[in-house]
Amino acid sequence: MKNSHENITLPTFEVALVQNTGNEPTHQTISLNDFIKQHNSGLILYFYPKDSTAGCTVQATDFTALADKFAQKGYTILGVSRDSIKSHHNFICKKELSIGLISDTDEKLCQHFGVIQEKMMYGKTHLGVVRSTFVFDKNGIMTASFRNIKSKEHAQTLLDIL
């Protein structure tokens, strides 16, 4: 996992956040800066290609399993994909995820972080989300970024680094 310090700021536009706040996931529109202030914590923003796929499920369930340990270190975790609010709702329910998921159907957040790139699959190139993670402190300053990471053991490796 490569750690680099890029100079990307949190966007000022609002995003659609789905999270399990009780018996059932709910969604709201929020700015990431406001989210950090409300939680008084740093933010781990990780981008993944698609809900309910093998690698993305591993990553989401690993982050859920370690969410309390990240919280002890002062971080809240949010996953981001281009899936719909309904897809995120289903993914959270099916896999009992405790982390929030951002629905970026218009790819605005993906574009802001530059995570949509050419990928090769079955011998053909296509544009897709490159699995990436960005770490922000509680002032919204990026402290680390990791691009083109593998889903397996990423959450534990990141926790160890922090």
Q: Are 79 and 61 in contact (CB under 8 A)?
A: no
Task: Kindly state whether residue 117 falls inside one of the protein's structural domains.
Answer: yes
**Residue at 87 is within a domain:** yes
Quick one: 61 exposed, middle or buried, by C-beta within 10 A (0-12, 13-18, 19+)?
middle
Report pLDDT digits (tens) over 36-89.
999 999 999 999 999 988 878 899 999 999 999 999 999 999 999 999 999 999
- 72 belongs to a structural domain: yes
Write out the residue range of the structural domain in which residue 29 sits.
14-161
What is the rounded distance in angstroms from the CA atom of residue 31 to the CA atom of residue 49? Answer: 22
Give per-residue pLDDT as tens, 76-126: 999 999 999 999 999 999 999 999 999 999 999 999 999 988 777 677 777
In a domain, 126, yes or no: yes
Catalytic positions are: 56
Helix (H, G, I), strand (E, B) or coil at 18: strand
pTM, to two decimals: 0.90
* Residue 5 in domain: no
CATH of the domain at 134: 3.40.30.10
Q: What is the pLDDT of residue 135?
A: 95
Q: Is residue 8 part of a domain?
A: no
Contact 108, 13 (CB under 8 A): yes
Count the domains in the chain: 1
Pairing state between β 14-20 and 25-31: antiparallel
Query: What pLDDT, on the 0 to 100 scale, is given for residue 1?
Result: 41
Within a domain: 69? yes
| Paired tokens of 154 | 């990423």
